[in-house]
């Protein structure tokens, strides 16, 4: 009953929220969840310098979509923005809902 899928998580500066969620939709994600977040990373507090909290965007997708998302996020945003992205294994019911 449980289907293995991928959970893509992107943590980014708040100004990127709209661009990133558009990107997810365009690359085939059927839905996503955005939460406000706080934190610090290799760029120090630089990420949160422009006022507003960080965003954590999560989406359950197929492996192919997950690969596309990671590739695009890396290409477009890793150089200039405080962004991390990773993929983890998840198991869901109603697997057809996500792909």
Partner 1 sequence: MGEILRQNLLSPIALSFALGIVAKLVRSEFQLPKDMYTALSIYLLFALGLKGGVELAHSSMAQIAAPAGVTLLLGCITPLTTYVVLRRLGRFSESDSAGIAAHYGSVSAVTYIAALAFTKGMGAEPEGFMPTLLTLLESPGIHIALAIGAMKTAAPDRNMKHVLHEVLTARTMVLLVGGLLVGFLMGEKNWQAIEPFYDSKGPVFKGALTLFILEMGIVAGSRLGDLKKVGPFLLGFGMVMPLLHGALGAWLGHVAGLSVGGCTVLATMAASASYIAAPPAVRVTLPEANPTYYLTSSLAITFPFNILIGIPVYFQISRWLHG
Tokens (6 digits) for 25: 């939709």
Tokens (6 digits) for 40: 């610090």
Residue 21: which residues within 8 A CB-CB, separation 6 or more? 32, 34, 57
**Dist CA 27 CA 18 (whole Å):** 14
The residue (of 1 and 50) whose beta carbon lies closer to partner 1 is: 50
The residue (of 4 and 41) whose beta carbon lies closer to partner 1 is: 41
- Stretch 67-86: interaction string toward partner 1, x if CB under 8 A: ---------x--xxx-----
Identified binder of partner 1 from the candidate list 52, 74, 88, 91, rule CB under 8 A:
52
End-to-end CA distance of the chain: 16
Among the candidate windows 1-9, 11-19, 65-73, 89-97, which touches partner 1 by CB under 8 A? Answer: 11-19
Interaction site with partner 1 (CB under 8 A): 13-16, 19, 46, 49-52, 76, 79-81
């Amino acid at each position: 009953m449980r289907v293995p899928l991928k959970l893509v998580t992107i943590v980014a500066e708040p100004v990127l929220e709209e661009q990133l969620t558009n990107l997810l939709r365009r690359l085939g994600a059927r839905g996503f969840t955005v939460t406000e977040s706080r934190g610090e990373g290799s760029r120090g507090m630089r990420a949160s310098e422009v006022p507003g909290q960080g965003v954590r965007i999560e989406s359950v997708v197929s492996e192919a979509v997950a690969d596309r998302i990671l590739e695009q996020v890396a290409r477009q945003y890793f150089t200039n923005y405080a962004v991390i992205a990773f993929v983890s294994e998840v198991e869901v019911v109603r697997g057809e809902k996500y792909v």
